[in-house]
Amino acid sequence: MSKSIFYHAGCPVCISAEHDIIGLVGESNVEVVHLGEDRDRINEAEKAGVKSVPALLTPNGNVLHLNFGASMEDVKR
């Protein structure tokens, strides 16, 4: 895994953080996953340790929860 993965759910906090992360890391270095639309990736995100969105999974497997938009329980609803 060489790219980071940015998980979000379309919330305003998510969109703002997405812009910030892409500005910092570069668009080519981050895969953006909208868990509200890509619901079959919720399980993958939870296994990686994502507890809320927006969150950034780094290439070394750490999860950075960025501010707070919604819990994974909310995303699943």
Applying CB under 8 A, the residues found at the interface with its own copies are 4, 16-17, 20-21, 23-25, 29, 56, 58-60, 62-68
Residue nearer to its own copies on the CB measure, 52 or 75: 52
Task: Give the single-character DSSP code of 37.
Answer: T
Query: Quick check: 43 and 68 in contact, CB under 8 A?
Result: no
Nearest residue to 27 (alpha-carbon basis) of 2, 57, 3: 3
Please say which residue, 14 or 75, places its beta carbon nearer to its own copies: 14
Written as one letter, the residue type at 76 is K
**6 or 77, CB closer to its own copies?**
6
> What is the closest distance, in whole angstroms, from the C-beta atom of residue 70 to its own copies in the complex?
15
Cβ atoms of residues 20 and 54 within 8 Å: no
Smallest distance, its own copies to C-beta of residue 54, A: 9
